Chains A and B, each alone.
Chain A
Amino acid sequence: MVKINSKAQVGETLTWIVATILVVVLLIFFIFGSSLLSGTKKVSDTFRESLTSGQVQEGNDVFLQKSLFAYASIGSVSTQLELDKILEKMTLSGNFTGDYNQTKKEVLLNYNLK
């Protein structure tokens, strides 16, 4: 009777020890994870697609808008064509963010309204 009891006690103690180790290991894992995540706390101008509305203007690059405004107000057609090519190339190489054609449409519309 006493022998059976001691076996059960050993079994139960082992369960407790394993559970304790599991709790400690999980805690260490989460502490490590949170310290790793804290290193990525950067604020940038790119937002999740789900957070931005599709109805908002797509062409929101200030620099592209300014360049396109200059493009729209140029009198010479040949200079306009040349600038258009350069701006398109600059957009493709990543100098501007946003959709080039969409921004161009919006700026030209605003310019004509002006």
Chain B
Amino acid sequence: MISKINKKGDKLISVYWFAILVIVAVGVVLMVNAFYGNPYDVRQIESETLADHVANCIYYGGQVNPSLLSADGVFRPDFRDNFMHMCFLNFSVEGEFTPVPYYIEVNFSSGINDFKNVFGISEGNINLRPDCYISAGNMQNLAKCTQKEFFMKSSSGKVYAVKILSVVSKVTENTNG
């Protein structure tokens, strides 16, 4: 009689352990899925890299890009026209109606304390620009911006302040939204 009751109990315990095992396994799968299912957000570092790349294209090793400034210190409009090609950039996207997820803007002002623009370059999707000036609650769905400034000296001895604004959208690739 006792051994019969024990057998029943053993069976019940085995079923219970199996159920717990399944619950824990499902939990582990859910945890891994929740953590690794979300993409890494690399937009901030991507926009910083883009700004670095453009800065290096304009001024590298103490030398201004010879295609940007003429010998007599005049900005060349053909650099602006061929900016993407000159700086080895490619913003093209797949699909006819897919908006470009990048925007880059470079402004040059002459002198150290002069804030008057003397030359400007902009490429990409200008509609992303307002995202840089919005402070909303859910910033995850806004494009990430990097605003940098540096000084360069031309071969003619003139100093220019260069302001770079780079914006990267790519919300779907970097978030769950």
Contacts and interface: CB of A to CB of B under 8 A. Distances in A.
Interface of A: 16, 20, 23-24, 27-28, 30-31, 34-35, 37-39, 41-45, 62-64, 66-67, 69-75, 79, 82-83, 86-87, 90, 95, 111, 114
Main secondary structure of the interface of A (DSSP, over half): helix
A70 B52 CA distance: 17
Nearest to A28: B27
B126 interface: no
A111 B62 CA distance: 9
Nearest to A83: B112
Interface residues of B, number: 36
Given A63-B149, A70-B159, A27 B24 contact: yes
B40 interface: yes
Contacts of B31: 30-31, 34
B149 A39 contact: no
B134 interface: no
Interface string B30-41: 111011111111
A35 B42 CA distance: 19
Contact of A42 (B41, B62, B151): B41
A20 B21 CA distance: 11
A64 B27 contact: no
B154 to A, nearest CB: 9
B34 A62 contact: no
B119 to A, nearest CB: 17
A16 B19 CA distance: 13
A43 B34 contact: no
